[in-house]
Amino acid sequence: MRAFLPLIALSGAVALTSCGEPAPTYVDQAWVRLSPNKDTPSAGYFVAHGGDAATQLRGVLTDYALKVEMHESVDQAGKMSMKPLASVDIPAKSTVAFAPGGKHLMIWGVNDTAIGRGKMTLTFLLANGDRLLVDAIIQKPGAAAPAPKPEDHKAH
């Protein structure tokens, strides 16, 4: 029996070290393409990374625009249209991309301060109560998506 005591103590220590904080949901690669017409909405894109638990994105807020809505481009009988999204599921340990031609943000009235800074802070509201603050790079109308930075691909 005494020979097993060190093994029991060691297995308990291993079990404790493997029980860390659960991996959180996070958002990266956020960017906004300005509309060429200030009277029409700009578009926002990002990638949501699911943590250890599934959640939902319930909305996006910013102090740098008048209004933000989540939308999805859909093909209905060969004709593209957009529909608003009240929420978006973020499954555990997966990614959900908001990208041109699919899910995206519609952002009305991006203010000149954000445009001058070249970025705007977005607040992502999750169903689990988390609020994620993420800076989105602002791109001029017609510009390509910014290249992801190496730190955008870090493991969480």
| Residue 66 token pair | 């008048």
CATH number of 22-141: 2.60.40.1890
Q: How many beta carbons lie within 10 A of that of residue 136, not counting itself?
A: 24
CB-based contact 53:92 (threshold 8 Å): yes
CA 66 to chain centre: 20
pLDDT tens-place string over residues 25-75: 999 999 999 999 989 999 999 999 999 999 999 999 999 999 999 999 988
Distances in whole angstroms, Cα of residue 86 to Cα of each of 13, 38, 70, 113, 149: 45, 25, 7, 28, 30
pLDDT tens-place string over residues 64-76: 999 999 999 988 8
pLDDT tens-place string over residues 74-108: 888 889 899 999 999 999 999 999 999 999 999 99
| Boundaries of every domain in the chain | 22-141
CA distance 33 to 137: 9
Q: With the C-alpha atoms ordered 154, 54, 95, 133, is the resulting torsion angle positive or negative? A: negative
